[in-house]
Every structure is written in C-alpha cells, then in structure tokens.
Amino acid sequence: MVKVYLKRKIAPRIANGHPWIYGNEIEKTEGDIVAGEIVEVYFADKKLAGRGYINPQSQIAVRLLTRKQEEINEAFFLDRIKKAWQYRQKLGYTENCRLVFGEADYLPALIIDKFNDYFVIQTLSLGIEQWKPAIIKALETIFNPKGIYERNDVPVRELEGLPQQKGFLSAPFDTNIIINENGLKFNVNIENGQKTGYFLDQQDNRRAIQQVVKGASVLGAFTYTGTFEIHAAHYGAKYVLGIDISEQAVEQANKNAALNGLENICRFEAKNAFDALKQWDKEEKKYDVVMLDPPAFTKSRENIGKAITGYKEINLRGMKLIKNGGFLVTSSCTNLVSPDLFLQTIAAAAKDAKKKIRQVTFKAQSSDHPIIWGLENTNYLKFLIVEVSSI
Ligand code: SAH
C-alpha cells in the first residue's frame, strides 16, 4: 500500500478529526500511486493518521476513511452504512432520511438519500466511486430496496476527473414516487428532480412553521415541490401563494397541493421571486407570513459577496411585504455563508427595510444530516423565523 507522509504544519487540523488532506500538505509519498486507491497516511512524526483514498488530480488529494490500520473492503462499507442507519433509527428517521451524509458519517463524498424503499446515491469523488459496487451490495443486504438510482449528474465530479451521469443501479423502476412527510404526501421525481429529487434537510423545519401560520395569509418563494407551502396550508393558513422560477417545479407543487386536497388554499405560479416581490411591494400587497428558501446563489468562496447581496435583497423585499407583527421564515443552504454572517445579513436587510425584528426560531438542517464541528461543509443550512414590525 502506498504511504503518504504529511508535512509537520498541518498535523493538528487532521489530528483533530478533519478527514481532508490537500495536495500541498503532503511532504512525500512512497510507492506507485494509482488514482482512487487506498493509501496509508502518516504524520511527520511517523504516527499513523489513518487510511483513505487518494486522487492526485483533485485539490483534496486524500480523504481519510478511517483512523485505524483496518482493511477497507466490502465489510467496512457494510459496517459504516449499518452504523449510519442505526443513528437514523435511534433519532426516528426511518421512512425518509439522508441515510449517509458524507463526511458526517465518516464516508467522505458519499451521499445516500432513502425515500422509503428507494435509494438515491451520489458518489462525488474518484475514491468513493471505486466502492460503488460495495455500497450497492450493502444497501441490498440491509434494506432489500425496491430500487437504487444514481444522481451523479453534478459538476463537482469533474474536479475529480469523473463524468457526470445518472441512471439505475438496480433493476429499472418507476422514478416518480410518492413519499410521506409529517402526515402529508409529496411526489418525488428521482430521475429529473433537483439534486436527489427532494430536499430532506428541511423536514424538521417545515414542522417549525406550525406556530406562525395558523389563520395566516402566506407568500412562499423558491418553493420547488411546494413542501413548506403545503405544510402551511395543512397547519391552518387561510391562503397560500407559492412562486418558483421553474415551470416544472410549479407544476409538481400544484400536483402536490391537489394530492393533499389543499388545492383550494394553496396555489403555485411560475415567477422570478426578485421581480415579483418588487412588483408586489409597489402594489402595496401584504401578507401575514412570507417564507423564503432561495438557492445557494454561489458555489465558490470568491463569489460570496454576490450571495450576500442576493440574500440581503430578497429578504429586504420579503420583509416589506409583511404586515406589522407578521413573520418572516427564511433559509440559506450554503455553508459558504456562516450562521453569523447570515444573521448579520438579515439584520442589514431589516435596517434597510426600516423594520424591527425579533428572533422566534433559529435552526440548522434536520438531524439526519448531523454536523461535525470543525468540518464546516456539514454545517450548511440556516433556518430562521423572525417577527417583523415597523420601527
Ligand atoms: N423550498 C424548497 C426548496 C427550494 S430550492 C423545499 O423545501 O424543498 C430553491 C428553488 O428556488 C428551486 O426550486 C429553484 O427553481 C428556485 N429559484 C431559483 N431562482 C429563483 C428565482 N429567481 N425566483 C424564483 N425561484 C427561483
């Protein structure tokens, strides 16, 4: 097995549990490197750092899978996935959950979403791609799934020299499925939906709106499958309007409203949220509750300013549409914007909108996406409810 020796300077970070080793942190290697294969990593003082997979083409040269001198084989993956499942079962995420959340489940670059009997997987690095057969076998052993689908149509794979691809990893099945969440039903399109087809990370937060939507008029923007909005209707909102820029998302959301018998309370329209909110402010429209769940706005640290501008603008526009004493429900789904920075951005938006705000709830993603301190990409979702009043 190839041996990788680290430079002295980086040891504390990796010793503290961070599994990534950047190319410029490697002092020397011994043996012939084959991209994607398992290597053994040592600190500068020759103590074992662990075993992981290497890809010299990637900026993250090695991702550690274990801190021990154990064999990485099919049994290793079966054990890790079993442990990930035990954690979800303990916390009560049995029907639908993120079964494996990459680094947070000690399986770097692997994502597995469980939608009842169906599984959607993403292998986002060359090293984990090699173990796809072992991962599928583990799922078959533990769950006997009705279907497994690969959603590897993501640009990040190209940084690893991997092609973007999607398709069946089991016998073909109907990729339009219906899942239950909080007693409601939702259509999920595993093949063509966004990301893995559905955002499981907001499943706890959707319950958190119950306190503020009863009897309310609600505007939701960036609605995708319409889940927040349909929850609002279910929790007693008077009427709910949802908007999303994607026609396909709007069609799916309207279908979901009907699936739950809530189509008379909750309707969705295709609109650009930035334009629509501006227009409705001019027309002096007002809602009791405005809910915003925009996309990341940036994928890179260099563009973080652009993301902040986007978040500030949309939240400012949202706040202006809220009746005095109403509520803003707002999220951000990128780890590039830290929780502190997000709150500062909302505060800046309130100031410009000439509003006073009080925090009702501030949370992260649901607990089937655990957070590892020091591993910032695991702490990515911010979910905030504030009461909004005139100054
Ligand atoms: N609230 C959803 C997730 C939203 S994902 C849930 O709980 O599952 C973000 C959504 O924003 C996507 O559906 C995307 O189509 C939409 N979107 C992106 N830019 C937009 C814009 N300018 N106006 C309206 N919607 C937009």
pLDDT (tens digit per residue) in 52-87: 999 999 999 999 999 999 999 999 999 999 999 999
Ligand 1, pocket-test mutation among 245, 252, 291, most atoms within 8 A of CB? 245
* The predicted structure's pLDDT at residue 38: 98
CA 63 – ligand 1 centroid, Å: 32
Residue 95 has pLDDT above 90, yes or no: yes
Which pLDDT score is estimated for 214? 98
Domains with residue ranges and CATH for the chain: 3-66 (2.30.130.10), 74-175 (3.30.750.80), 199-390 (3.40.50.150)
pLDDT in the model for residue 12: 82
pLDDT at position 9 is 85
* CA-274 nearest atom, ligand 1: 22
Distance 222 CA to ligand 1 centre (A): 3
> CB of 116 closer than 6 A to ligand 1?
no
186 lines ligand 1 (CB under 6 A): no
Q: Mind listing the pLDDT tens digit for each residue in 234-265?
A: 999 999 999 999 999 999 999 999 999 999 99
Q: Is 225 in the pocket of ligand 1 (CB under 6 A)?
A: yes
pLDDT at 298: 85
**The pLDDT of residue 11 is above 80:** no
- CA 30 to ligand 1 center in whole angstroms: 48
The confidence score (pLDDT) of residue 182 equals 94
CA distance linking residue 239 with residue 297, whole number of Å: 29
How does DSSP assign 93-145, residue by residue?
A: --SEEEEEEGGGGT-TTEEEEEETTEEEEEE-SHHHHTTHHHHHHHHHHHH--
Shortest-distance atom of ligand 1 to CA 291: 1
Q: Name the DSSP class of 72.
A: -
Q: Given this model, what pLDDT does residue 164 score? A: 98
Rg (CA), the chain: 23
d(Cα 64, Cα 52) in Å, to the nearest integer? 4
CA 52 to ligand 1 centroid distance, Å: 36
**Residue 292 CA to ligand 1 centre (angstroms):** 9
The residue assigned the tokens 């119950």 is 210
Q: CA-to-CA distance for 30 and 33, rounded, in angstroms? A: 8
The predicted-structure confidence for 39-50, as pLDDT tens digits, reads as follows 999 999 999 999
Q: In angstroms, what is the span from residue 267 Cα to ligand 1's centroid? A: 15
Distance CA(391)–CA(350), nearest Å, equals 10
Q: How far apart are the first and last CA of the chain?
A: 66
Q: Identify which of 204, 219, 244 to mutate to test ligand 1's pocket (most ligand atoms within 8 A of the CB).
A: 244
Please tell me the distance between residue 94's alpha carbon and the centre of ligand 1 in angstroms.
27
CA dihedral for 6, 11, 13, 14, sign (positive or negative): positive
Q: Does the structure show a pLDDT above 80 at 309?
A: yes
- Give the model's pLDDT for residue 74: 98
Continuous H helices in the chain: 11-15, 74-91, 126-129, 132-143, 203-208, 210-213, 227-234, 247-259, 273-282, 304-320, 339-352
What does the pLDDT average to over 202-225?
98
Q: What is the pLDDT of residue 10?
A: 80
For residue 194, the model assigns a pLDDT of 96
Output the residue whose Cα is nearest ligand 1's atom 1: 223
CA 276 to centroid of ligand 1, rounded, Å: 14
**246 within ligand 1 shell (Cβ under 6 A):** yes
pLDDT number for residue 143: 98
From the list 218, 202, 199, 248, the residue with the least C-alpha distance to 327 is 218
Mean pLDDT of 164-168: 98
Report the atom number in ligand 1 closest to the C-alpha of 246: 15
Instruction: Report how far ligand 1's centroid is from the alpha carbon of 304 (Å).
Output: 19
- Ligand 1 and 295: CB distance under 6 A: yes
Any ligand 1 atom below 6 A from CB of 199:
yes
> What is the best residue among 222, 291, 293, 331 to mutate for testing ligand 1's pocket, by most ligand atoms within 8 Å of CB?
222
Distance 97 CA to ligand 1 centre (A): 21
Task: Give the residue whose CA is nearest to atom 22 of ligand 1.
Answer: 272
Average pLDDT over residues 266-270: 98
Distance 288 CA to ligand 1 centre (A): 21
**Is the Cβ atom of 245 under 6 angstroms away from ligand 1?**
yes
Give distance in angstroms: CA of 330 to centre of ligand 1. Answer: 12
Chain-wide mean pLDDT for the chain? 97
Q: Does residue 313 have a pLDDT over 90? A: yes
Per-residue pLDDT, 35: 98
